[in-house]
């Protein structure tokens, strides 16, 4: 079996050196890629409206510490899916005239 090539990559301001054969080297690479893509995964999980832009920033500038941190903070901020759904529901109720006290008064 041919040994897995040595991969040196700058990630988040640190140099990681991976050496291994076959499956071990691939597993190390998979773990590093998963860590590298955390901002994109967080944005997707939260239902962020700018998931595509966050992913692009993460891929293109994530290799720098600044790019990765900016992508991560951006993914963690802004409205999440539940807030957007609640806001849409409130807007729908207000359009129907069912918001707040008026709704309670109509039910009586």
Q: How far apart are alpha carbons 95 and 55 in whole angstroms?
A: 35
93 within some domain: no
Per run of 10 residues, the mean pLDDT along the chain (length 108 residues) is 46 49 86 95 91 96 94 88 82 77 52
The per-residue pLDDT for 81 is 72
Query: Do residues 39 and 54 touch, judged by C-beta distance below 8 A?
Result: yes
15 within some domain: yes
10 within some domain: yes
Q: Classify burial at 32, counting beta carbons within 10 Å of its beta carbon; exposed 0-12, middle 13-18, buried 19 or more.
A: middle
| Domain count for the chain | 1
**Dihedral pair phi/psi, residue 97, rounded to 5°:** 75, 25
87 within some domain: no
User: Helix, strand, or coil here: 30?
Assistant: helix
The per-residue pLDDT for 4 is 46
Residues 6+ apart with CB under 8 A from 10: 63
Q: Which domain holds residue 18?
A: 1-36
42 within some domain: no
19 within some domain: yes
The per-residue pLDDT for 19 is 58
48 within some domain: no
């Amino acid at each position: 079996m041919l040994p897995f090539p040595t991969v040196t990559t700058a990630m988040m301001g640190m140099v990681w050196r991976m050496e291994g054969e076959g499956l071990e080297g691939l597993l190390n690479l998979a773990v590093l890629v998963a860590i590298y893509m955390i901002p994109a995964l967080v944005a997707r999980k939260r239902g962020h409206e700018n998931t595509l832009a966050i992913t692009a920033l993460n891929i293109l500038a994530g290799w720098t510490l600044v790019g990765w941190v900016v992508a991560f903070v951006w993914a963690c901020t802004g409205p999440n899916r539940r807030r957007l759904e609640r806001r849409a529901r409130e807007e729908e109720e207000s359009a129907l005239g069912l918001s707040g006290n008026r709704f309670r008064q109509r039910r009586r």
